[in-house]
């Protein structure tokens, strides 16, 4: 007999389907609900990435934090059995507290070598990203709903005994909340995977905070350049959101790699059809396949069962890129300085490019920039 009694959230009028809030509406093992935060200083000295995820049909909750500092990437991760209280966003030494929904959150981690206590405060309203759908053959493999937001951050980061103050005006915070269905390790392959191999993937996810405006750019393209996801939206107080056309990115890669050093994203302001250029200068980078649990990580990935009360803390040496070859085949988050219409802003240039991508001139997985 299973314990299927009501949970605390069932007291509130928030139900979307005739089920307890303990359950999701789908039986898909890949159902997920998670978040990611980026905390970056404006000089590119440090990039803190952290997140927490719930996998209801796998019975798992996990969280992580990574700090890029110089050539070192400090990682703190935790995983546990999912309980009934979905408002308790804590796993081992990692915690997120929603102090005021959509406005103020507290981010805390308490590892032996890496710890932090940061208050994130929204600077702009949350913005919906496009409904994201992917199929392999006829099968739905990803369907997600996300919103993104930028804000200010204040607090402290401690690493190896060093204290790094996080001060308003000198640091920026962005965040993304998403839920739906997304592949978790252990997914079966079979005919659909054999007959529909991935030839190439090209991705840009770019939240940018300026003093008086917030810009979100997102694109996803197949090997032949066919765009499956597209948005460029500008948020500004006192104005309706403005869509800035069909973004086109010119990316300058480091020779022999697909690591971007700078880029220009071409946009169009519908008011007068004026062209706009979003300049991107990469300050520091953190591969999500190292420490943060995103594929193709080979030591831990989101949603995987590691037993009750699992925690792990380690340091990756990024001085030698060849020591972590899988990192180049995953998405990498770049803290960046941006320019737009005479203003300077800060945010994340998240980019993944692997396999064939005809518009960039990449012919396969081993193809790199000249």
> Is the pLDDT confidence value at 187 over 70?
no
What is the structure's pLDDT at 1? 47
Span 318-337, pLDDT tens digits: 998 889 998 999 999 999 99
Q: What is the maximum span of the chain, computed from C-alpha positions, in angstroms?
A: 66
Please write down the HEC assignment for all residues of 53-88.
EEECCCCEEEEEEEEEECCEEEEEEEEEECCCCCCC
pLDDT tier for residue 176 given thresholds of 50, 70 and 90: very high
Give 325-328 contacts, CB < 8 A, sequence gap 24+.
Answer: 326/289, 326/296, 326/297, 326/298, 327/287, 327/289, 327/290, 328/257, 328/258, 328/259, 328/287, 328/354
Q: 15 in a domain, yes or no?
A: no
> Is the pLDDT confidence value at 191 over 80?
no
> Is the pLDDT confidence value at 342 over 80?
yes
The stretch 45-66 carries a mean pLDDT of 97
User: Helical H runs in the chain?
Assistant: 190-195
Q: What is the mean pLDDT of the chain?
A: 94
Q: 365 in a domain, yes or no?
A: no
The stretch 33-39 carries a mean pLDDT of 98
CA–CA distance from 97 to each of 33, 109, 120 (Å)?
Answer: 16, 11, 10
pLDDT tier for residue 38 given thresholds of 50, 70 and 90: very high
> Is the pLDDT confidence value at 238 over 80?
no
> Is the pLDDT confidence value at 188 over 70?
no
What is the structure's pLDDT at 213? 95
Q: 9 in a domain, yes or no?
A: no
Span 88-105, pLDDT tens digits: 999 999 999 999 999 999
Span 253-285, pLDDT tens digits: 999 999 999 999 999 988 767 899 999 999 999
The CATH number for 62's domain is 2.40.370.10
> Is the pLDDT confidence value at 215 over 80?
yes
Closest CA to 129 of 246, 231, 280: 231
What does the radius of gyration of the chain's CA atoms come to, in whole angstroms? 20
> Is the pLDDT confidence value at 195 over 90?
no
Q: How far apart are CA 113 and CA 311, in angstroms?
A: 13
Q: 152 in a domain, yes or no?
A: yes
Using a pLDDT cut of 90, give the percent of the chain over it. Answer: 86
Q: Which domain holds residue 138?
A: 31-182+192-360
pLDDT tier for residue 2 given thresholds of 50, 70 and 90: low
Q: Which residues contact 213 (CB under 8 A, 6 or more apart)?
A: 124, 234, 235, 236, 343
Burial class (CB in 10 A: 0-12, 13-18, 19+), 268: middle
What is the structure's pLDDT at 136? 83
> Residue 327 has what DSSP assignment?
G
Burial class (CB in 10 A: 0-12, 13-18, 19+), 36: buried
User: Are residues 348 and 335 in contact, defined by beta-carbon separation less than 8 angstroms?
Assistant: yes
Q: How far apart are CA 206 and CA 174, in angstroms?
A: 10
Q: How far apart are CA 56 and CA 30, in angstroms?
A: 9
User: Are residues 145 and 138 in contact, defined by beta-carbon separation less than 8 angstroms?
Assistant: no
Q: Which residues contact 82 (CB under 8 A, 6 or more apart)?
A: 54, 55, 56, 58, 59, 60, 61
The number of folded domains in the chain is: 1
The stretch 5-24 carries a mean pLDDT of 92
> Is the pLDDT confidence value at 182 over 50?
yes
Phi and psi at 309, nearest 5°, equal 65, 30
> Is the pLDDT confidence value at 155 over 70?
yes
User: Are residues 57 and 65 in contact, defined by beta-carbon separation less than 8 angstroms?
Assistant: no
pLDDT tier for residue 225 given thresholds of 50, 70 and 90: very high
């Amino acid at each position: 007999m299973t314990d299927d009694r009501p949970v605390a959230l069932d007291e509130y009028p928030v139900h979307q389907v005739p089920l307890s809030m303990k359950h999701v509406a789908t039986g898909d093992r890949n159902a997920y609900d998670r978040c990611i935060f980026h905390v970056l200083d404006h000089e590119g000295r440090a990039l803190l990435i952290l997140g927490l995820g719930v996998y209801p049909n796998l019975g798992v909750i996990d969280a992580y934090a990574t700090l890029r500092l110089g050539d070192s990437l400090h990682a703190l991760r935790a995983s546990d059995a999912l309980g009934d209280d979905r408002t308790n966003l804590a796993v081992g030494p990692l915690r997120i507290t929603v102090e005021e929904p959509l406005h103020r959150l507290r981010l805390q981690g308490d590892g032996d070598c890496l710890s932090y206590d940061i208050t994130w405060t929204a600077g702009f309203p949350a913005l919906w990203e496009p409904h994201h759908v992917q199929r392999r053959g006829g099968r739905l493999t990803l369907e997600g709903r996300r919103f993104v937001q930028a804000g200010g951050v204040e607090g402290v980061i401690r690493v190896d005994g060093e204290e790094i103050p996080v001060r308003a005006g000198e640091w920026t915070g962005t965040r993304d909340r998403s839920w739906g269905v997304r592949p978790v390790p252990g997914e079966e392959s079979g005919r659909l995977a054999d007959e529909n191999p991935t030839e190439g993937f090209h991705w840009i996810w770019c939240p940018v905070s300026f003093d008086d405006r917030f810009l979100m750019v997102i694109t996803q393209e197949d090997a032949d350049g066919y765009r499956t996801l597209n948005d460029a939206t500008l948020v500004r107080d006192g104005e309706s959101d403005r869509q800035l056309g069909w973004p086109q990115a010119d990316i300058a890669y480091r020779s022999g790699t697909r690591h971007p050093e700078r880029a220009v994203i071409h946009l169009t302001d519908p008011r007068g059809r004026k062209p706009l250029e979003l300049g991107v200068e990469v300050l520091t980078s953190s591969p999500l396949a190292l420490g943060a649990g995103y594929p193709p990580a080979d030591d831990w990935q989101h949603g995987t069962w590691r037993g009750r009360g699992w925690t792990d803390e380690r340091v990756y040496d990024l001085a030698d890129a060849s020591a972590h070859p899988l990192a180049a085949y995953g998405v990498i988050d770049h803290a960046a300085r941006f320019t737009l219409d005479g203003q300077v802003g800060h945010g994340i240039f998240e980019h993944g490019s692997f396999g064939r991508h005809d518009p960039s001139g990449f012919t396969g997985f081993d193809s790199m920039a000249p």
